[in-house]
Amino acid sequence: MAIEPFNLSSLVGLDQGRIKETFEQAIRRCEADCKDRPALKDARTVTLKVTIAPVPEPDGGELQSCDVRFQVTDSVPKRRSKVYNMRSTRSGLHFNELSPDDINQTTIDEAPGPRSETDAG
């Protein structure tokens, strides 16, 4: 292939289309995360980073060429659970699954059983 000018249009064909495919995969990952968590309004990002480094003539004079490298990155918001309030004891942390917001909250499973007739009177 002949020497061609580098521009955005020619980028898609570089490295047998791998850069384009990598970029499209990153877009699909971000889109999938949006579908998975539509209520999370934080932005998803895809970045195409182009670095250009000069290659000088061996004698240190004029520019001989440039080394160009591409990096595609994507970022989605971190996945976080809700906060669980837990009690710290000597044997470790303990939580109440029926009351995750307050470890001290009494729940129906902790209520005493029905009283018998002999207890009533």
For residue 115, being part of any structural domain is answered with: no
Within this chain, do residues 67 and 86 fall inside the same structural domain, yes or no? no
Nearest alpha-carbon partner for 47 in 34, 60, 35, 30:
30
Q: Kindly report, residue by residue over 7-24, the tens digit of the pLDDT.
A: 999 999 999 999 999 999
For residue 45, being part of any structural domain is answered with: yes
Q: 54 - beta bridge partners?
A: 66
Within this chain, do residues 51 and 83 fall inside the same structural domain, yes or no? no
Q: Kindly report, residue by residue over 82-112, the tens digit of the pLDDT.
A: 888 999 999 999 888 888 888 888 767 666 6
Per the structure, the count of domains in the chain is 2
For residue 114, being part of any structural domain is answered with: no
SS3 68: strand
Q: Which domain holds residue 41?
A: 8-75
Burial of 90 (0-12, 13-18, 19+ CB in 10 A): exposed
On whether the CB atoms of residues 26 and 46 are closer than 8 A, the answer is: yes
Within this chain, do residues 83 and 70 fall inside the same structural domain, yes or no? no
Within this chain, do residues 35 and 12 fall inside the same structural domain, yes or no? yes
For residue 61, being part of any structural domain is answered with: yes
Predicted confidence (pLDDT) at residue 121 exceeds the cutoff of 60: no
Predicted confidence (pLDDT) at residue 80 exceeds the cutoff of 80: yes
Q: Kindly report, residue by residue over 23-79, the tens digit of the pLDDT.
A: 999 999 999 999 999 999 999 999 999 999 999 999 878 999 999 999 999 999 999
